[in-house]
Structure 1
Amino acid sequence: MPSLLPGLKWKPEDRDSNMDRFTALAFYFIATGFAYGFNGDSFELECPDECDCHYFRINWVTDCSESNLTEVPYDELSLSVYILDLNGNNITSLKPFPGDIKMRRLQIAENRLTRVEKESFKGLEYLIDVDLSGNNISYVDPEAFSDSRGLLNVELQDNPISVVEGPFLISVTLQYLDISSCNLSTINPQFFDNITTLNTVDLSNNPLITIEAGVFDVLTSLENLKMNDCKLKIISENAFLTSVNLKNLEIAGNHLTETNWPEVLGKLVRLEYLNLKKSGLTSLSEDTFSNCSNLVSLKLADNELRDLDVAATLGNSVNRLELLDLSNCKIQGPISGDAFANATRLKSLYLSGNPLFAPDLQEALAPLPKIEKLFLSNCGLRNLPDNFNVFDNLQELDISHNPLVNVFTKLLAPLEKLEYLNMGYSNLSFIGPDSFSKMTTMKRLVLSGNDLLSLEAGLFGNLTQLTTLELEFCGLKRPLNANAFFKNLTYMDLREIRLGGNPLVIPEKGPLFPKQLSQVTILDLSNCNITWLNSDAFKNTVNLTDLNLSGNRIKSLEGSLSFLEKLRHLEKIDLSKNNLTTIDPLIFANNPRLHSLNLLGNQFVCDCKIAEMWDWANMIKGDLDVLVGAKSAEKDIVVKGNKKKKNLHCHYNETQLRNMSTTLNKSVPGRRPFIKPREMTYANRTWAKYVRESGCEPVVQILRPVALVADIVQVSYIIPTLICISALLFMVGGFATGYQTSRYYRKNIKREIATSGTNI
């Protein structure tokens, strides 16, 4: 049989395997379809050279953050971009964006912009959120967002705006405005005139000093107002005259010593949350909160309220109060027995940081039988009240950072319904074996920061409902002693153990933990000076789903991560801040459920193992989010999200830098090609950029698509495969032709019948 293509020969003996090869070819086309997304980029929409593009849910995200850009790549943007992230670049000015662009969210924080001009945002009709925080902006055109008719959120914090004369912005839809840390010294009376729909305003960290009457009068829809750390000394008695809908007011970190609080707060009848932490308060009158009858949460922490009469200040008006924070108020006098008599609905009480004595505390807490959370950290307590038996609803108790030494057994025995107990940093060197014997409902126990060295036999025996055990920085050398638990009893609910910061000595062979802990799923061994773990280290804890090994000294040596083979249920592993320089995806071959791998903070060398890891996450796992720092996470692209995200990096050595000029602009199948020629200028690279410029072929060790291609395109395979495809096309075409022909004849017959009927 003559060859249809030069150099290709037909081999009759291969006829029987044609169908297999056809199937292989079909699989190849499917596989290569996925392969074109190997470097994390999709090719359906445009993506600038210096950016990483991907879909977030169904929205097109263009991530150009931290790419050393000096201008926006306008010509390379897709008109369908939903989120454009330009955070952390060196952009100094903005030009108009392309017409008809559908952008909803623009993030350009941490750049070098100096002005916000109207022309720069002209035509952005779909814009909903804009983040311009952390620039050098000193001027904002009030009409900058006049074309954005659906604008909801504007972030301008951390800019030297300083002075605003007249209205700040014009928007009939704006609901959220953050202008904190903008060096504003005054808010003029017209400032909010054209943004009256605001629901939330953050003015924190501006040196305002004074809030005059009338400033907020037009904001009748305002529900949330933050003015923390504004150096406020004076708030006008009529500042909130029309703020009838205000529910959340934060004025923490100011110097409001002379404020007339009954007048200032008197109009806020719907106020539910009030934060006055660290506001220079030295006294509060009895009628301070007299009109705040809906107050649910009151935070007065970090004020020098030495002579505070709690009972008189709370009065009869705060009978809906559920949370009261009096932490670090330096209250000198004993807390009276009727201190909380009018706040019987209290569920959470914070008294930490005040000098307390057990007898006074016992009397004051008596009217609060419904208390659920009690925080008594750092109160100088040497013993505890012995009336805990009356607190039937007490679920959380924090007595950490008190010089309690070793007196616990008798004092804690009545707390049979306690679910959370924090005894951390309490100078404990010994805990009696019966201390927790009656706490059968305990779910979380914190003993961190005590120099325990060893744990008594049976100490945790009765804690059969325990879910979390924290023993960080306890000086432990053994992970956990089997004797601390009952022998032959599996603790089915114990799922989380935290042992970070202990100088653990890892055995050369055998498991780290006893069989009683076989149901543990979350394990923290961070900062434990671990250099290696033997292959059987987790033999008794094979159900682990979340393993934290960050901050150790694990190296990229053969077998250093062999312990992963037994962890088939593993979903998350943190190997950040170790001494890894390279890593192979085959290490995780026995971890099919793994969906989060944190490798940040390791000194990786830029080699093709990086590309293999990238392809493993993108192709095999089906989601680049598996590699923490590979692309934008959800927290990086939400409104009011983090400005600086952490990326995976690797570095070139000097030899690689010299040789990179030949591979930098190489077009590799499966990698998005660069539009413009590039030159290597610096050694430190993000994984995303390295994968594109490396010249590394798409991974072949896992799915081996390249090997599949080589097999298929052998001379003996092409002709029969093409014949199979052609035959299939002929069959489809023949069927279509026959169908159309039959339709044609049926129509003609109907037409002839109709014509005959008419003639008759």
Structure 2
Amino acid sequence: MADFGVAIVVVVWLHLCFCFCFCFCLNHEGDLLLDAKAGLEDPSHTLSDWDAATDAIACSWTGVTCSGDTVTAVDLTNLGLTGPFPAALCRLPNLAFLSLSFNYINSSLSDSALAPCAVLTHLDLSQNLLVGRLPDALAALPYLTYLDLSGNNFSGPIPPSFGRFPRIQALSLVANLLTDNIPAFLGHLTTLRQLNLSYNPFAAGRIPPALGDLASLEVLWLAGCGLVGKIPPSLGLLSNLTDLDLSGNALSGCIPATFANLSSAVQIELYNNSLRGSIPLGFGKLRSLVRFDASMNKLDGPLPDDIFDGPRLESAHIYSNRLSGGIPAGIARSTSLVEVRLFANRLSGSLPPDLGTNSPLTLLDLSDNLLTGSIPASICDGGALEQLLLMNNMFSSSLPDGLCRCQKLARVRLSNNRLSGEVPAGFWGLPHLWLLELRGNSFSGGISPLIARGANLSDILIDDNQFTGSIPSEMGSLSKLYEFSASNNRLSGPLPSSLRNLRELGKLDLHHNLISGELPRDIHSWSKLSELNLADNALAGCIPPELGELPVLNYLDLSRNLLSGEIPIQLQNLKLNEFNLSNNRLSGALPPLFAREAYRNSFLGNPELCKDSSGLCPVPHGRSYSHSFIWSLRCVFVSAALIFLVGIAWFSWRYRIYMKENLPSDESKWTLTSFHKLRFSEHEILNCLDEDNVIGIGGSGKVYKAILSNGQIAAVKKLWGSSYKDQSTDDSFEAEVATLGKIRHKNVVKLWCCCSHRDCKLLVYEYMPNGSLGGLLHGSKGGMLGWPTRYKIAVDAAEGLSYLHHYCVPPIVHRDVKSSNILLDGEYRAKIADFGVAKVTEMVEKGPKSMSGIAGSCGYIAPEYAYTLRVNETSDVYSFGVVILELVTGKLPIDPELGEKDLVKWVSSMVSHKGMEHVIDPKLNLCHKEEISKVLSVGLLCTSSLPTNRPSMKKVVKMLREVNAERKQGETAVLLLERCS
């Protein structure tokens, strides 16, 4: 019994000791966690449960994981925490996992702070604000296998100690400020499986051949590392490599033949280098290859015939190269081929006849080549094709009936080929098709009534063909139709009355056909119609007054028809950029707004129209020269002579007044510097600088619309300035403007010429009839911009800005990217305007040595400008990101609806807490939700708070172009293709 009692005492004593130990351990580790919290700011209160009152259950705190009785992991990812690195966490005795990624940790890392992390195996400090040198203490952590420091501001070289990690498997230093070269001693890390050094400003250097010794390496990312010279053949020894990215460098020479030994390769990216030669024939052995991108190089020679023989090849991205020769027959033998992108090359010959037979193709893009022959009948045999893009080639013959089996087809672009014959009836009504582009071919036959099945059709573009027959009434059931362009065909019959049911219709262009009958009435549902072009047909009857009630119509052309009756006075309600009712049979008086010289060309060739309007509407040529006609002609000449004399007197009077009020008073001559072939003089420009012609006032000056005698329209910017008269200022101004005048790009507004007179500077640009993106998007006509148009505007503007950054010598930094500086032409093509004008304006105002004015506009200014006062390409990228957010949300950068937040902060907050769908403009059709979300992601990447995390504009263009093409490729492929931004 005594022994039993002793045993009970011992058990109780041990239990009490265990409880004491347990409480002491948890209390001690809880104190360390509270010490770490004390050094951080937690604006979102996500660590509110880290409280001393509950320290006995620290294992239940946010982000804390325990094993048994001790803390082993702390994960505080993306909690908005601010402050220095919490060194107290490293004193947790059993901490093996620590992640503070996507916060605002803003200190340097000291060796003393990291040394206590003795058992740490996983450390993720990516996407923070850490600065200074990489600490040597990291390499001394004996169990560390995973280290991610990407997306910070670490500087200096990679220290030699980083060649001595004992167990490291994943090392990521992406997007920092590291300098010097990529060191060869990294080849000593034989345990490495992932090495990610992309997007650092390393000095120009070669790829160390020693990296070929990393036998266990699976991922090697060296994109944007300033690499030069040849790719070392030793990289071909990496037999376990699945992902190789050497893009965005200046590598030269050929692709090493040893790359054929990369038997595990899933993704190889070599784009944007200066590689030459052909793709090694042995690439056909790479049976696991999912993605191959060698675009934007100078490769020559045809693709090897066996490159696509690998049974697991899922996509091949080989675009923007100079590849030539035919498309290899081996492409058709791949059983897993999903995407083929070979656009913008010099490929020739015909497509393999069995292409699509053996593989589940989802995307085929061979645009902008020299391909001939017919489209293979088997192209849809896999049943998965979603995008067929073959425009700008020389394909001939007719469309195969097999295309009717493409039930998943969403985008078809076959424009500018030599295709002919009738379009198969079932092809018109594919259920998922939203873009059908057949422009510039020789198709014949009619539009099938089966088009009613195409419930998702948004854009039907069939101009410049030989289509015949009437427009089927079934088109009125296409509830999502935005654009129907069928000009320059042979369509006949009346316009079906069912077209008035098209509530989403934004553009209807049927000019130069044989359409007859009357214009439809009761068209109030066309509330989004901005362009109506029915010119050169056989339409009769009256112009319906309902046209004047369409809220966003700004392009109306009904010329060269048989329309009669009076011009409805309701048309005065329209804000028209293009207006033409010429060559009809209209009669009566002109509405008062149109009885002006500016509208003369809108009514030519209507003999019975406005007879009492002093010849404002002359009759057409070709009548017989009767006596009355000759007498009338004499009267016209006499009247014209009188008008001419009066006009000269009036002009002289107005010119003197203008010179006194607006232009320099001395007699010095104006200097005109032209950058394009001009058909006007500076005097014509000066005569248009009237307040009635002002179309805009901005931070750099006042803009006038100048209608010139030759019919051209120009936009004239009169820069704000003072009487600063320093010769060096004039020289600098002229040099800067001369640089701007050399710009030649389809997405950059042309600077025609410059007129200067000491303290008065005029820049003359091409005129953009649809105004600015900002004015359109945030004005009353914002609803007319559907997502396809907004997406096109984003791509166009990105290409223009990319040209300024990457292809101009020297590069041009815009300094004031915003939606009001993105202008739209008559086809809604976007062009960058006011490029470099912010800098020029400062020269005019303050002289060349004073460039301290604020660069940018409120809401678009990158955050680093507040402390650096420097503007560079990354600042432009940030501003462009704000424009993308405008396009997606429809909101202003600074909007009262957003409260105290700007657009960037509001979108980031909403996306984090509620998801992307809560920021999308409600005017947009959510059938494009997936694509909109991807573009929004690009915008958020561009507006990263860290300049080093923002992509270049060249990369932005690439990402935007790929938005339509991205598709899920299976869980394994997604994991392997997932990338750090």
Give me the TM-score of the superposition, normalised by structure 2.
0.39
The structure that is strand-richer by fraction is 2
Q: Does 1 or 2 have the higher relative contact order (CA < 8 Å, sep 6+)?
A: 1
